[in-house]
Amino acid sequence: MAAAYTYLDHNATSPLRPVALDAVVEALQAGGNPSSVHRPGRAARARLDKARKQVAGLVGALPSEVVFTSGGTEANNMALRGHGRVLVSAIEHESVLRAVPDAERLPVDGNGLLDLATLERLLAARPALVSVMLANNETGVIQPVAEVVRLARAAGALVHCDAVQAAGKVPVDLRGLGVDYLSLSAHKLGGPTGVGALVVRAGAPLATDRVGGGQEAWRRAGTENVAGIAGFGAAAEASRDGLTPALRDRLEASLPGKVHGAGAPRLPNTSCLSMPGVKAETQVMALDLAGVAVSAGSACSSGKVSRSAVLAAMGVDIADAETAIRISCGWNTVFEDIERLIAAWQALYTRVTYSDFSGARAA
């Protein structure tokens, strides 16, 4: 049975998985400081160690390569700090773009895929670091990161990859990608908010700007968020199988809107879709009233919707961009959720445009 409210905004935050909630509660009840040598301290340390293995296991890393952080934003900031000349893709998350405001931006094509020829050209000037996300938060488009690494390596550059949206949805393998730094966030895969990790390949340099303790092998000072990390570990393990595209495919086949990035490899859970003639904010509010949560524009961290820089970088015209919403499924999405979305979308479209879209695209 579908829930009374359908949540299709997993790329913003995925609901907490029951196993993650259990791990959080258990760790909070147990307490203890993982740096203490007594029994409660050692138990807290054991929770951290377990979670470190679970998170490392999700991305094919060594546990010692995992540095727990307060989330994806901190992981991105940490990875990008102190490198000198940096190249970033134009469609990175704000936490990358604002961490290195002077970085040169690499363009993407109409499908949101990185322009590798421009990357190759700019690599000739020997940047220290290249940062390219694995999957985009708005469109779900998956970048050719292994190819980016091959080109960057040849030019002697390090590579950072924001895998916040990819992890737990598609396979992510640190060694297969070959990157030096990989950012993760627990709340995108069914863990709690406020916890994440930067995976730092053994031997890669890491500049740290906070001092005060030897936690995380001197890479991030401060007593660890044991409960959050325990929840992150449980969610990481539970999301190892990733997601399948069946529900996304069903909704895309049933709605007539244009799907942005449709010509590129994409995450199995994300649709960035324009409803012709209906502003995104109107759609989000109307769908919310109909009991369906989706989002407009980018992450809206300030609570207000601004024009999508990602769609602009893809060359999507303003009229199309203003009508684009993001629908993102997740670990607990069921067929009935998609049916509710389709019905609500259809009712809105008919009401606003006085036209019936059934049959506009084969359902």
Binding interface with ligand PLP (CB under 6 A): 71-73, 76, 93, 95, 133, 137, 162, 164-165, 185, 196, 299
- Give 34 or 196: the residue with its C-beta nearer to ligand PLP: 196
In whole angstroms, how close is the CB of 346 to ligand PLP at the nearest point? 29
Q: In what order do the strands lie in the sheet with 181-185?
A: 66-69, 196-200, 181-185, 158-162, 129-131, 86-89, 104-106
Q: Is 199 helix (H, G, I), strand (E, B) or coil?
A: strand
- Give 177 or 278: the residue with its C-beta nearer to ligand PLP: 177
Q: In what order do the strands lie in the sheet with 270-274?
A: 258-259, 270-274, 324-328, 295-296
In whole angstroms, how close is the CB of 140 to ligand PLP at the nearest point? 11
- Give 106 or 164: the residue with its C-beta nearer to ligand PLP: 164
DSSP state, residue 16: P
In whole angstroms, how close is the CB of 245 to ligand PLP at the nearest point? 19
Q: Is 142 helix (H, G, I), strand (E, B) or coil?
A: strand
- Give 65 or 162: the residue with its C-beta nearer to ligand PLP: 162
**Which residues are marked as active site?**
300
For 297: left if phi > 0, alpha if psi spans -120 to 50, otherwise beta; the answer is left
- Give 130 or 344: the residue with its C-beta nearer to ligand PLP: 130
CA 70 to chain centre: 15
Question: Cα 348–273–360 angle (5° rounding)?
Answer: 60
In whole angstroms, how close is the CB of 184 to ligand PLP at the nearest point? 8
* Phi, psi of 86, rounded to the nearest 5 degrees: -130, 140
- Give 30 or 293: the residue with its C-beta nearer to ligand PLP: 293
- E-state strands within 84-144: 86-89, 104-106, 129-131
Question: Which residue number places its CB atom closest to ligand PLP?
Answer: 72
Token pair belonging to 109 = 């094509």
Q: Which residues contact 192 (CB under 8 A, 6 or more apart)?
A: 16, 20, 24, 186, 227, 228, 231, 232
In whole angstroms, how close is the CB of 76 to ligand PLP at the nearest point? 6
Question: Cα 298–55–174 angle (5° rounding)?
Answer: 80
In whole angstroms, how close is the CB of 131 to ligand PLP at the nearest point? 11
